[in-house]
Amino acid sequence: MGLGNAGALAILVAISMFSIGMANKNFSADWNGNWNHTAGWPYGHWNADQTSKRIIVGGSENWHFGFNYTDWAIRNGPFYLNDTLVFKFDPPNDTTFPHSVYLLPNFWSFQNCDLRRAQKIAQVTQGGGEGFEFVLKRWQPYYFACGERNGFHCKNGMMKFSVWPFFRRY
């Protein structure tokens, strides 16, 4: 194989920690850390699909309490650099509950729905209309969560998911 133990281990750790969005598909990485999609990926995908996408988080479910967004991310990933995630949620009124979007700083806070060092990226009013848009600009894991009720929506409402966008191959 020619892959050093340390490198292989690092890749395994990365894959196991950040596998959301790439489950059920097979990938490999080269020495530079570039991902290479191998057998199983539909032929012609790269030629047919070169532009960044606008993806509604949750699809027709939008962004609400009680929908499994981790599962959604696995089924709808992988996502690519410069893809736009769109969070749609109704502004709060007497009959709807407020939601928001936060970025959590690391895997631990994501697992525990710990919002202490989280960054609020969308207020409760920003999910209306065309929705709140977030561009996946960097090659890094992103940890998204709803911040309402001090983590309750994240923890009990499953309103969280992570993505690590891939480089799109042309």
Ligand X SMILES: *[C@@H]1O[C@H](CO)[C@@H](O)[C@H](O)[C@H]1NC(C)=O
Q: By the criterion CB under 5 A, which residues form the site for Cu ion? A: 99, 146, 148, 153, 159
Is residue 17 a contact partner of residue 107, using CB atoms and an 8 Å limit?
yes
Toward ligand X, which CB reaches closer, 28 or 117?
Answer: 28
Out of ligand X, Cu ion, none, what residue 71 binds, judged by CB under 5 to 8 A for its kind, is ligand X
DSSP reduced 3-state for 104: strand
Out of ligand X, Cu ion, none, what residue 2 binds, judged by CB under 5 to 8 A for its kind, is none
Q: Report the sign of the C-alpha dihedral through residues 10, 113, 135, 68, in that order.
A: positive
**Separation between Cα atoms, residue 26 and residue 98, nearest integer Å:** 38
The distance of closest approach from Cβ of residue 74 to ligand X in the complex, given in angstroms and rounded to an integer, is 6
Residues 6 or more apart whose Cβ sits within 8 Å of residue 86: 54, 55, 56, 57, 130, 131, 132, 133, 134
Out of Cu ion, ligand X, none, what residue 74 binds, judged by CB under 5 to 8 A for its kind, is ligand X
**Separation between Cα atoms, residue 4 and residue 20, nearest integer Å:** 25
The distance of closest approach from Cβ of residue 60 to ligand X in the complex, given in angstroms and rounded to an integer, is 15
Query: Contact between 1 and ligand X (CB under 6 A)?
Result: no
Q: How many CB atoms lie within 10 A of CB 16?
A: 8
Residue in 27, 29, 55, 70 binding ligand X, rule: CB under 6 A: 70
Measured from each CB, the residue nearest to ligand X is 40
Out of ligand X, Cu ion, none, what residue 158 binds, judged by CB under 5 to 8 A for its kind, is ligand X
The distance of closest approach from Cβ of residue 5 to ligand X in the complex, given in angstroms and rounded to an integer, is 20
Out of ligand X, Cu ion, none, what residue 96 binds, judged by CB under 5 to 8 A for its kind, is ligand X
Residue in 13, 17, 38, 54 binding ligand X, rule: CB under 6 A: 38
* Total residues binding ligand X (CB under 6 A): 21
82-96: b (≥16 Cβ within 10 Å) or e:
ebbbbbbbbeeeeee
